Amino acid sequence: MRLREFEDDDLVSPRTNQLMFIGLTGFMSIICLYRGITAGESYQQLIAYIGAILCLIIMLLLIWGLKYYKK
């Protein structure tokens, strides 16, 4: 029996994949901001805010990359 090989290009376009990652990093930054606000200890707030900043930077870079995506 021959197995069918799947190609990633046929399933989801790279632009759609990038949009999903933008949504994921946006959701993660919201979670980090919420955790930073509700954390009791200062070190927990610091870690959560650093995570939120990193997620926002990654999200902005992904959005910036959409501008240079070839149509």
pLDDT tens column, 24-41: 999 999 999 999 999 999
For the record, the structure tokens of 8 come out as 């990633």
Separation between Cα atoms, residue 17 and residue 1, nearest integer Å? 32
Check residue 14 and give its pLDDT. 83
Q: Assess whether pLDDT exceeds 80 at residue 46.
A: yes
- When pLDDT is cut at 50, 70 and 90, the band that residue 67 belongs to is confident
pTM of the model: 0.77
Question: For residue 59, what are the contacts with CB-CB under 8 A and spacing of at least 6?
Answer: 22, 25, 26, 29
Average pLDDT of span 33-56: 95
Q: Assess whether pLDDT exceeds 70 at residue 6.
A: no
Separation between Cα atoms, residue 39 and residue 47, nearest integer Å? 10
Q: Do the beta carbons of residue 15 and residue 66 sit within 8 Å?
A: yes
